[in-house]
Amino acid sequence: MSKHDRHSGLRDAHNVLIAYMAELNAEHRNLPPTFFGGIRPRHREITIMGAALVELGARLVTRGAEIMAEKERA
């Protein structure tokens, strides 16, 4: 697999990641409030998934920087 293909794959993965995050944000905005202001179980799940997506995004950025560094060395 060429470096260009790897970079394109990372870009595609990043776009999928952004789509998942947008979907989670939309679901989060549409959660009904609780009567006493407590956190619903689904809210916790969305928060955990959002944190995992942020971590994955950070890993993608790191890998993208590595690929760009390889391109510059070549």
Q: What is the pLDDT of residues 48-68, one digit of tens each?
A: 999 999 999 999 989 888 888
Residue 4: the pLDDT is: 66
The rounded distance, in Å, linking the Cα atoms of 30 and 34 is: 12
Does the global pTM surpass 0.85? no
At 2-46, the pLDDT tens digits run 666 766 888 888 899 999 999 999 999 998 888 887 888 999 999
The one-letter amino acid at 52: A
The rounded distance, in Å, linking the Cα atoms of 69 and 1 is: 17
The rounded distance, in Å, linking the Cα atoms of 62 and 70 is: 13
Residue 1: the pLDDT is: 63
The rounded distance, in Å, linking the Cα atoms of 3 and 71 is: 7
Maximum distance among all Cα pairs of the chain, rounded to whole angstroms: 60
Contact 10, 67 (CB under 8 A): yes
